[in-house]
């Protein structure tokens, strides 16, 4: 079960109810992996907000670093949602505060544990190579 951060207000989000496609682009290897997420068959609630990009990634075996356990208290789960971002929950002030400490932030940047797609658009999510390296090297 996903953890809870007692220092922030949990955002109100709704996991997707209709099937959608999510493409993970793994910058480190150049691989692209495409999955169709059917909420009726996917079990959400593993980590991060229910149905978040991190939760989905865990379910399909895609590795995204998540040092704080998916509770919006770090920025290691930083990804870039380059397509379909409009169908995702809006970033809260707490998420933006954490993103302030991330490197290479741009308008596509999200914390994958806080970004919950509603299923109305397909998603393209880039997992930056440097993100993994930072976590491994302990910076
Ligand atoms: S895992 Fe720490 S903020 Fe997402």
pLDDT digits (tens, 9 = 90+) for 67-119: 999 999 999 999 999 999 999 999 999 999 999 989 899 999 999 999 999 99
Residue 98 CA to ligand 1 centre (angstroms): 9
**Lining residues, ligand 1, CB within 6 Å:** 66-68, 70, 72-74, 76-77, 98, 111, 113
- Answer yes or no: is pLDDT of 3 > 80: no
Listing DSSP states for 67-131 in one string gives TT-SSSS-STTEEEEEESGGGBPPPPHHHHHHHTTSSS--TTEEETTT--B-SSS-EEEEE-HHH
Query: Are residues 78 and 84 in contact, defined by beta-carbon separation less than 8 angstroms?
Result: no
Instruction: Tell me the CA–centroid distance for residue 24 and ligand 1, in Å.
Output: 18
| 39-58 average pLDDT score | 93
Answer yes or no: is 72 within a domain. Answer: yes
Range of the domain at 25: 20-137
Residue 1 lies inside a defined structural domain of this protein: no
pLDDT of residue 130: 75
Instruction: Assess whether pLDDT exceeds 90 at residue 137.
Output: no
Other C-beta atoms lying within 10 Å of the C-beta of residue 53: 28
Domain count, the chain: 1
């Amino acid at each position: 079960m996903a953890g809870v951060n007692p220092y922030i207000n949990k955002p109100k989000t709704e996991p997707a109810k209709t099937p959608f496609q999510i493409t993970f682009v793994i910058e480190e290897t150049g691989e692209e992996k495409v999955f169709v997420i059917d909420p009726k068959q996917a079990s959400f609630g593993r980590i991060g907000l229910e149905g978040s990009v991190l939760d989905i990634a865990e379910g399909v075996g895609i590795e995204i670093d998540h040092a704080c356990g998916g509770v919006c208290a770090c920025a290691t789960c930083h990804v870039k949602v380059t397509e379909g971002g409009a169908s995702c929950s809006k970033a809260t002030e707490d998420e933006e505060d954490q993103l302030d400490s991330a490197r290479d932030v741009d308008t596509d940047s999200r914390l994958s544990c806080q970004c919950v797609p509603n299923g109305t658009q397909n998603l393209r999510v880039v997992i930056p190579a440097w993100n993994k390296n930072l976590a491994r090297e302990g910076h």
